[in-house]
């Protein structure tokens, strides 16, 4: 019943299988690595396919792995959720984890905040209406975020109608972006060579 093409595949498959006879410890390690890198819980079906091992073997390995996590008082646990397996922190440690997550590094910014920060950095001192004009979008929440992260500071009122508040970058901004002072900020001219190199080759 085998066609030519299938014969080929079969030959490869069996060859592969003979190479991959894994010990239970190896199955445990491989399953652990797969579950770790996965964005979603991994089913035993998928594990069995990827590892080329029977469902029973995989399930036994997972049980052992789960017990291992539990018995060594690890900060992590292996658990079954939504029909698949996943590695997660132990519930008892949630407070510690939350405490850590609260202090996220301030250089992490949303695109909106980064755009606003870029406009402020290069146009300072600048007012909110000016930022709005350049970005073409409201920047109120981005400015709030930047103020909260202390990347920008107020720079007094502009002496025009309505006396709008002016904004500029802070000392924290210099630290976060590894700049000695604002003159360290690269200008468009600094990258002119890089840009023209591109244009020449296009």
Partner 1 sequence: MVIAVNEAAEQYLFDFEKEQPEIVAESRDELKLKLGGFAGPLDLLLFLIKQEKANIFDIPIAKITDEYLKYIRLMKSLDIAVAADFLVMAATLIEIKSKMLLPREPAQEAEEEFEDPREELIQQLVEYEKFRAAAEMLYEKSTIEQAIFTRGRIETDDNNSEINATVFDLLNVFQKVLLRFKEQVKLEIEREEISLAEMIDRVKSRLRSSGEVLLTDFFSELRSRRELVTAFIAVLEIVRTEKVSLKQNRTFGEIILRSV
The site for partner 1 (CB under 8 A) is made up of 33, 36-40, 86-92, 94, 97, 101, 104-115, 117-119, 121-122, 133-138, 141-142, 144-145, 147-148, 150, 153-154, 170, 176-179, 185-188, 191-192, 194-202
Question: What are the CA-CA distances from residue 74 to residues 38, 56, 81, 98 (Å)?
Answer: 20, 26, 19, 18
Quick check: 19 binds a copy of itself (CB under 8 A)? no
Binding mask 136-175 for a copy of itself (x = CB under 8 A): --x-xx-xx--x-----xxxxx-------x----------
Rounded CA gap, 143 and 175, in Å? 19
CB proximity list for 146: less than 8 A, separation 6 or greater: 109, 113, 116, 117, 120, 152
What does residue 201 show for φ and ψ, rounded to 5 degrees?
Answer: -85, -5
In the complex, minimum distance from the CB of residue 126 to partner 1, in angstroms, rounded to a whole number: 11
In the complex, minimum distance from the CB of residue 194 to a copy of itself, in angstroms, rounded to a whole number: 5
Check: CB of residue 165 under 8 Å from CB of residue 153: no
Cα 8 to chain centroid, rounded = 41
121 binds, among a copy of itself, partner 1, none (CB under 5 to 8 A by kind): partner 1
Q: Which of 58, 87, 113, 131 binds a copy of itself (CB under 8 A)?
A: 87
- Closer CB to partner 1, 35 or 57, in the complex: 35
């Amino acid at each position: 019943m085998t066609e030519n093409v299938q014969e080929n595949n079969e030959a490869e498959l069996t060859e592969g299988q003979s190479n991959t006879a894994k010990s239970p410890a190896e199955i445990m390690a491989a399953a652990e690595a797969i579950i770790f890198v996965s964005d979603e819980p991994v089913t035993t079906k998928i594990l069995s396919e990827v590892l080329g091992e029977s469902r029973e073997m995989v399930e036994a390995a997972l049980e052992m792995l789960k017990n291992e996590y539990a018995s060594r008082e690890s900060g992590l646990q292996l658990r079954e959720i939504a029909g698949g397996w996943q590695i997660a922190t132990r519930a008892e440690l949630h407070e510690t984890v939350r405490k850590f997550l609260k202090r996220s590094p301030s250089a992490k910014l949303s695109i909106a905040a980064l755009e606003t920060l870029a406009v402020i950095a290069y146009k300072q001192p600048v007012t909110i209406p000016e930022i709005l004009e350049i970005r073409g979008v409201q920047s109120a929440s981005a400015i709030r975020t930047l103020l909260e992260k202390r990347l920008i500071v107020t720079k007094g009122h502009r002496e025009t109608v309505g006396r709008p508040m002016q904004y500029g970058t802070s000392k924290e901004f210099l630290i976060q972006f590894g700049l000695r002072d604002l003159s360290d900020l690269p200008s468009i001219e600094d990258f002119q060579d890089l840009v023209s190199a591109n244009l020449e080759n296009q």
